[in-house]
Structure 1
Amino acid sequence: ELAHVKSKYAFATFLSGKEDAKLTDPYFIAVRTLTYQLLYANETRSRDQTIPFVVLCTDKVPLEQRKRLQRDGAIVVVAESITSDWATTSVANWQGILTKLRLWELTQFERIALLDGDTILTQPLDAIFNDPAVSLQETQLNKTDPNDPVIKPDERALPPTYAFAAVTEMKAEHAFPPSRENNDFPNYNYFNAGFFVFKPSLDMLAYYLSVLDIPDRFNPDMQEQNLLNYAHRREGAMSWMLLENTWNIHFPRWEDVQGGVKSIHDKWWDPLDDRLKDMMVAWRWRMEGFFEMRD
């Protein structure tokens, strides 16, 4: 299906899946809702309707789920798993999440915007590809820090250019938009890997995998999030660029939606702020009704 895509941009998500997962699995329903919002719903679909939605899956995602997503209009890509002997997690829903890095293999696209499956849109997002933060950056190989050299002999060579932009991770209690003045960020230099824009690159993937091969090079608790935060650390050669939190909010509250945030990162079936539940559940049922009629 990718061969027929003409757009230089794509939206993507990752579905790790469980072999026994049903079509009623809440994470799967979340990805279907995201498909509906990005491709069909008038209030939220991309104004550039050539931009595809790619769902990267592991081979553990049941065939029934893959076929349903394809019928819904998503492009399903089954990726070879990426695992690590040392960077492991005990969180069941994060198993296999390192495979998300396979998105860097989709080099037919100039930029991909990654959204975690448990994202709900309130507005179209395709203008993000014009945000200055997602523009091509030169790798700063001349940065010098004797305590943290940017070029490390046990890592692969860094690509000469890159693009990587993300939103700062925030506290559950925050103002909108979150700010440093309001002390809304636990660490202003740390991003959440549930929403970012990047340039696919096989050289970059090779670099990431070389980092993954080195035990304790980064804190493994959050797996790919901490790997990416290490690779694109602010003091490093490939510093991440800042997307404003008006694009996406983690730990969303009703006030964020009222304030005009374009997307929220939370579970539709169990939101942090109960005031959001009706809106999120309504999107789920709109999706179900739309695809039922379309079938």
Structure 2
Amino acid sequence: MRPDKIIFTSYLGELLDGYVKEQRSVGYKYVKGASLLKMLDGHLEKNPLTEKRLPKESVLSWTAKKPKETDSTRNGRISAVRGFARYMIRLGYEAYIYPPSAVKISRYSYAPYIFTGEEIRNIFVSIDNYPVCDVSRHRHLVLKLIMRMLYGCGLRISEALNLRRADVDLEKGILFIRDAKFGKERLVPMTETLTERCRQYSREVHTSDKVNDYFFPSPHGGRYKEATIYKLFRDLLWKAGISHSGKGPRLHDLRHAYAVHRLKNWVLKGKDLAQLLPYLSTYLGHVDLRGTQRYLRLTADLYPAITAAVEKHFSSLIPEVESYETD
């Protein structure tokens, strides 16, 4: 049976079908999840109830660890039934939610560092006061703009350093990102303020009409190395009074901060994240919504004041397992 043609036949079949359709409507392919829920559907058929509810006994029996089963495989079932249970509760049905504290989740060793608004301001103050370097007379200008581009557009550092002059439309304020992660290309609109900064920067730095030159040229005219910018970034953090633990913050955390701050702003303004997440996903260059939705979980975890709103209105958009880009 094709994964998109799964038919649910248990007493909760209609709700299971509705949940799968909801997941796909917000951008998930939801193939594996649907297959797991079909297994749950079969399990429920063995012990049918007369009312539409998902009892604790059914959840625990279906998620019980099987002989020689890995934690990862079991977590897949737990994640699927947790999402479905939250969906049922949102619709007013009784459902048992498997406690997240009991799930063994494999995470990356590095947790994203999300800069506060004050820290971002302090970083930019440090950048704007960065001294002119005799050896690299444009370094301070490169830093001023590239850091604002990383945070203001959510770019990866490699994407910013790969930009050629022809990739930056100074008239329309659009960046053309080529050969990004996963081989994707995309257009990234900038704010008018950032676009004007790009124009001013170009007038000061670009002295020729060679459109294939790097937009952020190194002192020798080639491409800056990520390690060089990272070293300068660590110096900026120190001047901004932000501690570096040896593992972070990293340049990539400016991208994380952009995504989380954007989501926080949307939630506070009452925006419909189900409609906006696909746009943010495209803007960030994600393959699908999963990478973007993990930022929603991080947003809810970091800002308790908006957690209730996120859980109430967008719980179906929050993934169970949290993992974040490392490059």
Q: TM class, shorter-chain normalised?
A: under 0.3
Larger radius of gyration: 2
Greater fraction of residues in helix: 2
The TM-score, its normalising length taken from structure 1, stands at: 0.24
Q: Larger relative contact order (C-alpha < 8 A, sep ≥ 6)?
A: 1
Greater fraction of residues in strand: 1
